[in-house]
Structure 1
Amino acid sequence: MKKRLGLSIMTSILGLSLLVGCGGSATQENTGGTTDGGGEPVNLVLSHTGAPDTPVYDTYEKFKEELEAISEGEITVKIHHSGTLAGDTQGVEMLLNGTLDIATAATNNMSPFTDAFQAFDLPYMFKDVDATHKVLENEELASEFEAMMKEDVDLELLFYLDPGSQRDVMNSKVLAKVPADLKGMKFRAAESPIELAANEALGVTPTPITWVEVYSALEQGVVDGLLQQHHWAVTANLHEVTKYVTETGGIHAMHIAFMSKKSFDSLSEEQQNMVLEAAQKAQAFNFENAPLQVEKMKEKMAEEGVEFYTPTPEEMELWVEAGRSIWPQFEGNFPEGLIDRIQAAQE
């Protein structure tokens, strides 16, 4: 399970310079790492990639609201949204370097750091959004995911955030009814082994491209499409450069709120409990509200001319068959029985 990631000097310097650019040095703004835990005021710096009016953005605002209320202002949270401070991978690196307090990362973007969340990348592992929530609300399974993560990276897992839907097939060329319609296309993929294999199973050529470059890559024809959730398509304005969405579902990439171990340990036990209580409330808020925002995001995409297609049951069987064909490649990566326990928890 253990992976090693070389954290570059340049990343550390960039993380520090970004914090300076946001109004103070890392030590001035990131006081969560320097408090003595004696009830002194604490200002936590939080970075995420969600844009306004999306589930991830709204959930972090809820977390801030709850934590500041619970602590009666003793703990405040300064939020940098829309990736203005850091993307997923860089945010995690900054947490590990001690230059950021809280950051978000998608489960697939955690693959350079740990294998703990690979189950969320396997196509059709989860029946639907509610099933995913059931798994993460199962204390035994949630603890297992966290324990696997902590074998690899020294972070505090605060809570999960659902973008509201599973990933669909999005492209700029054809209205794809079956996987064969995608033959010859190039799709953007994260550098996750499972995500790369999932793309190949659909007959496309996966092309690793950083998230910030996806819009221009689609616009310039470097890639023809991607597997993505409505949340992130809207956040990155991909509905301006894609024409078709096939509602295949299948991959339920979640976001996770992590806290620097250095920052968490610097808090008093009472303050730590405040953070965890706010985290619990934020996750409950997200699980209830995120799915309700999907239709609004789909409407925004449709207004830009995006055409949606729902496969017939017969067509859907082909998408599921292609997605699940990669399972044998990766089943050995999971602890014995984990896949069965995940499946059982969805009932």
Structure 2
Amino acid sequence: MKALALFSGGLDSLLAIKLIQEAGVEVEAVNFIQPFLAPAEEEKRIAHLQKLLAQLGVKLHVVRLDDEYLRILENPKHGYGKAANPCLDCHIFFLRKAGEMMKELGASFLVTGEVVGQRPKSQYRGAFPKIDAETGLAGLIVRPLSARLLPPTIPEEKGWISLDHCPSIQGRQRKIQLELAAKYGLEYESPAGGCLLTNVEYGRKVKDLIRADGHLTIDGLRLLRIGRHFRLSPHFKGIVGRNQRENRTLFAHFYQKRRTEGLYLFKALGAPGPLTLGLGNPTADDLRNLAHITSRYSDHPWDTAVTVKILASGKNHRLTTETVTKQQGVLDLEQFRIV
């Protein structure tokens, strides 16, 4: 008997796997990599997940989310939480994908680390039947951490497994999980910030991108993680680097896409300062305003004229300059800042 577990990297999903192993079931795990991480970060994340699962001798399958997932983020059936987090839609999508993998792997049911009442959008008791019905996997999703609080699943009813040894955890308390981790001697990842889509600031940027472009891209989502973001007009925005690392990332994005129209790279000449990436179809005023913003974050002294170099992408690169005055009050940055 084999089961496929959805593995987030957290303690709950690690314990869920261990409890199912104790029921005599072979377990493999799947992690869905969301499209926010740069390739180097993604590689580091996968290595960390594999290290955690090595404690239990469990094989990890990695699924990189693509455009199908982005369409869900753009228009979630069950809506967003406080930010741009369509938690219910995401969870249903992950379960459906895992359900498709079951046959390929020879697994008989799915396992999750969900706990009754732990999260208001997707883990309250009434959400589970809705989730199970929409995935088409009703009865085949086992939640061992709250097993004794939930109706029996098909694996239990058919005698495939017994969950009598499982706890009855509910709510957000972590005492029982920590006791189980100590009992099994498990190393685990401490709770961190969670899904980036639940971050209010990031969520605003996601929704701004949907309003402006009508769709999301993986490159676009990755860029939302860095820099200061300004919406100059409905079809043009700027990202100002905050440090050398972000400047390198913005330059690399411009260089990789340099044959594509609609990218602009700004640099104030004559003093240290940020690189600014412009994206979209700007007017002359948009370009001048973004030059002002670029000079504002440069090390030029106040009340001086600053020449800003602007390199435009496309088959025929265009290099122009804009001379602006770095002056307090000349431009209200807050009218453009995406907050």
Greater helix share, structure number: 1
The TM-score bracket by the shorter chain reads 0.3 to 0.5
TM-score normalised by structure 1 residue count: 0.31
**Larger Rg belongs to:** 2
Comparing both chains, which one has the higher relative contact order based on Cα–Cα distances under 8 Å and sequence gaps of 6 or more? 1
TM-score normalised by structure 2 residue count: 0.32
